[in-house]
Structure 1
Amino acid sequence: MAKRMFDLVVAGLGLLLLSPLFLLIALAIKLDSPGPVFYRQERVGRGGCPFRIHKFRTMRHGAAGAQITVGADARITRVGALLRRAKLDELAQLLDVLDGTMSLVGPRPEVPRYVAMYPPALRDKVLSVRPGITDIASIEYRQESELLVRAADPEREYVEVIMPAKLKLAAAYVDQASLATDIRLILRTLGALFGGLFGGRGAA
């Protein structure tokens, strides 16, 4: 209950305080390329229930292709590249927090295709809580796209190396989840966010 109240208060204040930034982002997206401001994609939430996540659109509308992003993906727009570098596209998920499908902090929600590859025990644990906008895996693998571009087979690298490592971090979060842990991870995420805004790699 305390976590949910914390989520509601922080997400509500965040949407209010960040509304001017959201308007600027929306305007930049619309001026940069045709299509909607938001991108909606099916992800797997708590208890295995599917939901449609919000993101500010960073790719050309209607672009198809792999569900992982590798390096300088040709589908990404100019504005989208800036939003991704600073992780500003993820801020739209404050709407999902208010809706109750997500939390501020929790294991990042995956697409059904990759969730189907989770080992059963880890799948049950990771999906026992609401997915989050940020978690320790998001911070540790902030440069995931750059890691994948160096791999001979990016899809295989993600499935066999990166995803299992992120799953272990997600499971560790579930084991030690608390309001204090959430606050620490939010502060680390803000450090990484400001690092991205000013051109750095951000906090690890």
Structure 2
Amino acid sequence: MDMFLLNLSYVLAYYYNYGELENVLSSPFSVLLGVFNGAWLVLAFIIKPYVFSRVQFSTSHLELRFLTLFCIHGAIVSLFITATQGYYFSRLHLILSYGVFFILGSTWRVLFVWGLKQYRLKGYNHRNYIVVGGTEKAESLTKFYELHPELGMNYLGYFGKNESSPLYQGSYQDVVNFIENHDIDYIYCYGGDLDTKVFKEIADAAIEQDTEVKLLPDYIDIPNKLDVEYHSYIPIFRYLPQTFYQTREAYLKRVFDILFSSSVILLGSPLFILIGIITKLTSPGPIIFTQRRTGLMGKPFTIYKFRSMKVNAEQRHSLGKVDDRITTWGHFMRRTRIDELPQFFNVLIGDMSIVGPRPLAGYDIEILKKEMPEGYRLLVSVKPGLTSIGQTVYGYASDATQIKERANIDLTYEPSLKEDLSIIFRTIKVVFAASGK
């Protein structure tokens, strides 16, 4: 459906822009259409945006994944046009294509999820499950599915030691016979109650019946993430702090950083030049301000900004709006965040990410190391970002209290492409509203 809507949007925008369809499949438009389709297919295979569990299959999850694919696809097409110098393509045609596609793709997802929920509420598209072991966990699971009938899950019984449990069907030894005689889609097993031999018998029988086995772990109350890695066939759970993230997510985040920063630098170069000229004309001194900051795992790097302060200003922490070192133009750049634009080069070379905790200056490090050392260690365990939750919610910090408050906000960040897109849109809102501090 996405491929159909993508091509439909392209054709509708072409007709609106050119008033005919005779040449829509003629060169160079056929090449551009091929890039549109090819890029979407490649991204679909890499990102796998159409793989969902029943719990994840909601409007918000679908829209977030669509938005991720949509943005990266737009960046790829922009890079293609820039690399091939295809400036003869109409910008209006491209903007309309993406505008129509976004509306149609988003609407389709909302309608599909709504229709599927109604379909399940009428008793169709249901899946049957049983729970083996873990009485309390079985009750919690069944209550969850009872509260969400739109997920279409039918509970067929509990197997274990507690014979008083609702829908008790027998002991562990009765599970194999039950799944052989009933249509079971999922078996939820609580590992704490099962020995290896019994679990293997259930798992082997499940494979023969094309039934999926899911494990209910003992680690329900652990607030941070558990990551799984395999040593040959042995699954090993790694207990990770909140700020660490999986290799696949980190890879996607880096790919997104490269595509996004490249697109901004290429397409925004006229704006960069204009800001540089205004900075030079409004106050004497260099256009670009450089400073050493602390990056990933405490490694120092040079950060780039459009200069917002007077030359040879006293080296001390910013005092915000009342700081007399900041030029008039500098105040505007800080409110709109455009002084940060050169940091897209930091992102491109890998010192920073688009989204992450703000890179720490010397004064910030002294405060955090002294007053919240654990928070400091967690902050530097993630690559610093051009924007962050703390930057959009709080803004610049001018004293020790504000530094700690912003750091606590940044500590809530969980690196992921979905979270990054959300923060990017918040940042865009701050830029256009000129509401930055």
Task: Please state which band the TM-score falls in when normalised by the shorter chain.
Answer: 0.7 to 0.9
Separation in 2 of the partners of 1:70 and 1:191? 20
SS class of match (2:311): coil
Larger deviation: 61-70 or 6-15?
Answer: 61-70
Deviations 1:147-167 (A, max 9, x none): x6xxxxxxxxx21x2122211
Deviation of residue 73 (structure 1)?
A: 2.0
Q: CA deviation at 1:125?
A: 0.9
* Alignment partner of 1:8 out of 241, 244, 258: 258
C-alpha distance in 2, partners of 1:116/1:124?
A: 13
Q: Deviations over 1:93-146 (max 9, x none)?
A: 10100111100000001112321332221111110111001111001113x47x
Counterpart Cα distance in 1 of 2:344 and 2:313: 25
| Equivalent residue number for residue 351 of structure 2 | 101
5+ residue gaps, structure 2: 1-250
Q: What is the percentage of aligned positions where both structures have the same residue?
A: 37
Q: Which runs of 5+ in 1 are unaligned?
A: 149-157
Give the aligned partner of residue 37 of structure 2. Answer: none
1:69 aligns with 2:319: yes
Residue 86 of structure 1 is matched in structure 2 by 336
What letter matches 1:100 in structure 2?
A: G
- Structure 2 residue 427 is the aligned partner of structure 1 residue 193: no
Equivalent residues in 2 for 1:21-36 (5 A)?
Answer: 21-36=271-286
Aligned-partner residue type, residue 128 of structure 1: S
Q: Is the 8 A contact 2:317 2:363 kept in 1?
A: no
How far apart, CA to CA, are the structure 1 residues paired with 2:388 and 2:305? 17
The answer to whether the aligner puts 1:123 opposite 2:361 as a matched pair is no
Match of 1:167 in 2: 407
The Cα of 1:49 is off from its aligned counterpart by: 0.7
Cα distance in 2 between the residues matched to 1:76 and 1:163: 20
Moved over 4 A (4+): none
Q: Quick one: distance in 2 between partners of 1:95 and 1:84?
A: 18
Name the SS of the counterpart of 2:290 in structure 1. strand
Tell me how far apart the structure 2 counterparts of residues 116 and 37 of structure 1 sit (CA, whole Å).
29
> Structure 1 78/117 Cα, relative in aligned 2: closer, same or farther at 3 Å?
closer
CA distance in 2, matches of 1:120, 1:90: 27
- Larger Rg: 1 or 2? 2
Q: Normalised by the size of structure 2, how large is the TM-score?
A: 0.41
CA–CA distance in 2 between the matches of 1:69 and 1:52? 22
1:6-58 residue CA offsets vs partner (Å, 9 max, x unmatched)? 00000000011111111000101111122111000111100001111100001
- Residue type matched to 1:166 in 2? R
Secondary structure at the residue paired with 2:310? coil
Q: Which segment drifts farther, 70-79 or 86-95?
A: 70-79
Greater shift in the superposed pair: 93-102 or 114-123: 114-123
**Counterpart-to-counterpart distance in 2, 1:113 and 1:164:** 12
Partner amino acid, structure 2, of 1:168 = N
Do 2:333 and 2:339's aligned partners in 1 also have CA atoms closer than 8 Å? yes
CA RMSD of aligned residues (A): 1.7
> Per-residue displacement from partner, 1:61-118 (whole Å, max 9, x unpaired)?
1111421233232211222122112111011110100111100000001112321332
Give the TM-score of the pair, scaled to structure 1: 0.85
